[in-house]
Amino acid sequence: MTNILQNIAGMGGMTDQVIATDFLITSKSGVRNLAFAITETASKELRETLREQLRVAVQTHEVISNFMVSKGFYHPIDLNEQTKVNITTANTALELSSKKI
């Protein structure tokens, strides 16, 4: 049923890319926030806990990035390819916003 709704909305396979991109952005934010929190705490125990969470967050980011690269959603070392993906995604979003469902 979900595929039917995706096709009706004109998204097709875009939802995997959208979900993965959102997850990647969220993981980047988590890494940044944990790193900041480590610098703001005076407690050795809390710093150690935050460092472990940061380690896991960086690993999670790597897993998401690798998934996205394998699916062709993310090209971190090829700016031209990433630009093409970004333009396609932006055009899809613009098309969806102009459709009346």
Token pair 């959102």: residue? 22
Contacts of 45 (CB under 8 A, 6+ apart): none
Give dist(CA 94, CA 12) in Å, integer. Answer: 15
- Burial label for 68, CB within 10 Å (0-12, 13-18, 19+), is buried
Contact 57, 31 (CB under 8 A): yes
pLDDT per residue as tens digits for the range 26-69? 999 999 999 999 999 999 999 999 999 999 999 999 999 999 99
Does 18 or 49 have the greater pLDDT score?
A: 49
Q: Say how many CA atoms lie within 13 Å of 45 toward its Cβ.
A: 0
pTM of the model: 0.73
Each domain of the chain, given as residue ranges in start order, spans: 2-98
Separation of alpha carbons 71 and 74, rounded Å: 8
